Amino acid sequence: MRELISAERIQQRVDELAAEINDDFAGIDLLLMIIILRGGSFFGTDLAKRLTMPVRLDYIRVTSYAGTESTGVVSMVSDVKTDIRNRPVLVVDDIVDTGFTMQWILRFLELKHPGLVRVAALLDKPSRREFDVHIDYLGFTIPNVFVAGYGLDGLDDTMANIPRVVALEEADEMHVSVPPRRARLPILPGVKS
Residues 30-59 that bind Mg ion (CB under 5 A): 39
**Closest distance between ligand 5GP and the C-beta of residue 86, in Å?**
27
Q: What is the DSSP string of 75-98?
A: EEEE---S--BT-EEEEEEEEESS
Yes or no: say if 64 and 92 are a contact pair by the CB < 8 Å rule: no
Name the catalytic one among 24, 93, 94, 97: 97
Listed ranges 69-77, 91-99, 131-139, 167-175: which one lies at the site for Mg ion (CB under 5 A): 91-99
- Residues near 155 by beta carbon (within 8 Å), at least 6 away in sequence: 67, 68, 146, 148, 168
Residues that bind ligand 5GP (CB under 6 A): 39, 64-65, 70, 93-102, 146-148, 152-153
**What is the per-residue burial (b if ≥16 Cβ within 10 Å, else e) of 20-35?**
bbeebbeebeebbbbb
Q: Output 42 or 100, the one with its CB closest to ligand 5GP.
A: 100
**Which residue type sits at 17?**
L
Residue closer to Mg ion, measured from CB, 39 or 88: 39
Is 136 annotated in the active site?
no
Q: Least CB distance from residue 175 to ligand 5GP, whole Å?
A: 16
Note the residues at the interface with Mg ion (CB under 5 A): 39, 93-94
Catalytic residues, which ones?
A: 97
